Amino acid sequence: MHSLAVNSPSRRQIAELKDVQLPFVTRFDFPLNLTLTAQQRIGVVGNNGCGKSTLLKVLSGKVEPLEGSCHVVEQHVWLDQHLAMLSHYQGALIVVSHDEVFLNHLNLTERLSLSAGNWRFAAW
């Protein structure tokens, strides 16, 4: 897995993985350490079965790591590479807009900014 970070004026930490061993992944011989900061964009790339989706599930709280800790300060949204959670008539914004836990702290302007891809504007 590789992290491609964009330089960010803000260094506020939003997530941290310490000594994480991912479940379902047999190819990892070492613990994973990762710190994500505000306004940072990353790309997670790798071969099939290397743990990309599992990493995102650990960050989202859907799966617990086998070892180590995952601390997420800010809420976030992710969709897998195939947009599997979308039906043929839905877009990503529709799925996100139905997630009241994620959106309940955003005002209308912030919600609309998400649809325009303005992730920096949204206060998450």
List 36's β-bridge partners, or say none: 15
- Cα–Cα distance measured from residue 47 to residue 33, given in angstroms and rounded to the nearest whole number: 19
Q: Global pTM?
A: 0.54
Q: How many residues does the chain have?
A: 124
Q: What is the pLDDT of residue 27?
A: 72
Q: What is the mean pLDDT of the chain?
A: 69
Report yes or no: 123 and 76 within 8 Å, Cβ to Cβ: no
By three-state DSSP, how is residue 105 classified?
coil
The 8 Å CB, 24+ separation contacts for 2-6 are 2/43, 2/44, 2/45, 2/46, 3/34, 3/42, 3/43, 3/44, 4/41, 4/42, 4/43, 5/40, 5/41, 5/42, 6/39, 6/40, 6/41
Over residues 8-27, the mean pLDDT reads 81
Over residues 97-107, the mean pLDDT reads 55
Sequence ranges of the domains in the chain: 13-72, 77-118
Residue type, 5: A
User: Which has more pLDDT, 73 or 34?
Assistant: 34
